[in-house]
Chain A
Amino acid sequence: MNAAVQAGNVGETLVFWICAFFSVLGALGLIVSRKAVHSALWMALVMINLAILFVANSAPFLGMAQIVVYTGAVMMLFLFVLMMVGVDSSDSLIETIKGQRVAGILLGIGMGLLLVFGLGSALTNSTSVGLDAANGVDKGNVQGIAHLIFTDYLIPFEVTSALLITAALGAMVLAHRERWIPRLTQMQLSRARFAGSGHPGNLPNPGIYARHNAVDTPALLPDGSTTDLSIPGPLVARGGIRPVDHAEVDEVAAITDGGQS
């Protein structure tokens, strides 16, 4: 390690340890959390911290690209797919292969130890050259990367464009769905609605009373009974129906009767 790199590195050490802590925390959260949405948010945390580490490693272009491409585009794509698939798609905890989880964790930790100690022992005495000289040739990191891309890496760069077009086409082909049955006309829809056993018209509104006019209050029918049709389906399924206070109803009836008689 040369003196120039060593001189201004207190700040970098701080940045490294903070970002390392948060990225490992995010990675652990990614694999531990049961809901896929929580995993996606932990993943975004990891990616932002990695972007900061890229910038600290004198790679400002890659840091910005990391934020734009990963945190911006890839994570949004993940969240869109999660919305299509259903946000509450959580794992079942039953193992289909016996001992797979323990074996997987042990293998992963083993590989991690192997990598960490192997790299650590191989690289302890290595000195860092630093990128100041390489960035200085073209007067900037972006210019340096552009120089390399359009000279030494021109062919891979062109092949990348073919890859992107193929990926876009593949995604369109995979996401496309042919319509096998013709679209129903308005007349057919109307016939189906009236021929079926369902409710052809609008469903009754929830009950509106002086004390409760929330959607969980069922409507009163003329005979004093209530109807569950006036409550949104999920509330009925959850049993979240507010019971109608029949004392009030009786009271109102008594007052009306008293007024009449």
Chain B
Amino acid sequence: MNPVNYVILSAVLFSIGAIGVLVRRNAIIVFMSVELMLNAANLAFVAFARINGILSGQVIAFFVMVVAAAEVVVGLAIIVQIFRTRRSVSIDEPNLLKH
């Protein structure tokens, strides 16, 4: 099977994640969409590693996973903190810095 299919699948998933980030306003769902985009990028890395026959792509995907895990921890802590002060996870709410 043509491994380009994997790259195209990853592009589709990346775009769906981007739509989720742009359209949804629940901070947790936005965050999950970001995770989906990271996963799609990982799939592209793995597919390209196979196309080129070099393992470096897989190592980079591994690093992306580690960074994503760290990012989830910090991001969710920030969301919990915002929820404690504003009692809401809508990303329209935190506009305190605006005025």
Contacting residues, chain B, for A74 (C-beta < 8 A): 35, 68-69, 72
Contacting residues, chain B, for A1 (C-beta < 8 A): 2
Contact call A131/B69, Cβ cutoff below 8 A: no
Docked pose: A244 CA to B15 CA in angstroms: 58
Evaluate whether A105 and B23 lie within 8 angstroms (CB atoms) in the complex, with A115-B15, A156-B63 already known. Answer: yes
Contact call A85/B15, Cβ cutoff below 8 A: no
Docked pose: A135 CA to B55 CA in angstroms: 8
Closest beta carbon of chain A to B53's beta carbon, Å:
3
Q: How large is the interface on A (under 10, 10 to 19, 20 to 34, 35 or more residues)?
A: 35 or more
Among A143-151, A194-202, A217-225, A246-254, which stretch is in contact with chain B?
A143-151
Q: Which of A57, A58, A90 contacts B26 (CB 8 A)?
A: A90
Determine if A62 is an interface residue (Cβ-Cβ < 8 Å): yes
In the complex, the chain B residue whose C-beta lies closest to that of A167 is B70
Main secondary structure on A side of the interface with B: helix
Q: Which of B1, B25, B70, B73 has the most CB of A within 10 A?
A: B1
Docked pose: A171 CA to B36 CA in angstroms: 22
In the complex, the chain A residue whose C-beta lies closest to that of B32 is A43
Q: How many A-B residue pairs have CB under 8 A?
A: 247
Q: How large is the interface on B (under 10, 10 to 19, 20 to 34, 35 or more residues)?
A: 35 or more
Contact call A54/B77, Cβ cutoff below 8 A: no
Contact call B19/A170, Cβ cutoff below 8 A: no
Determine if A214 is an interface residue (Cβ-Cβ < 8 Å): no
Q: Which of A92, A119, A167 contacts B11 (CB 8 A)?
A: A119
Q: Which of B18, B31, B70 contacts A108 (CB 8 A)?
A: B18
Contact call A77/B39, Cβ cutoff below 8 A: no
Contact call A175/B32, Cβ cutoff below 8 A: no
Interface residues in chain A, defined as those with a beta carbon under 8 Å from any beta carbon in chain B: 1, 9, 12-13, 16, 20, 23-24, 27-28, 30-31, 36, 39-40, 43, 46-47, 50, 53-54, 57-59, 61-62, 65-66, 69-70, 73-74, 77-78, 81-82, 84-85, 89-92, 96, 100-101, 103-105, 107-109, 111-112, 115-116, 119-120, 123-124, 126-131, 133-135, 141, 144-145, 148-149, 152-153, 156-157, 160, 163-164, 166-168, 170-171, 174-175, 177
List 18 A-B pairs, Cβ < 8 Å: A30-B29, A31-B29, A39-B28, A47-B39, A65-B62, A74-B35, A78-B72, A84-B83, A96-B92, A104-B22, A105-B23, A107-B18, A108-B19, A108-B22, A128-B50, A160-B67, A164-B66, A167-B70
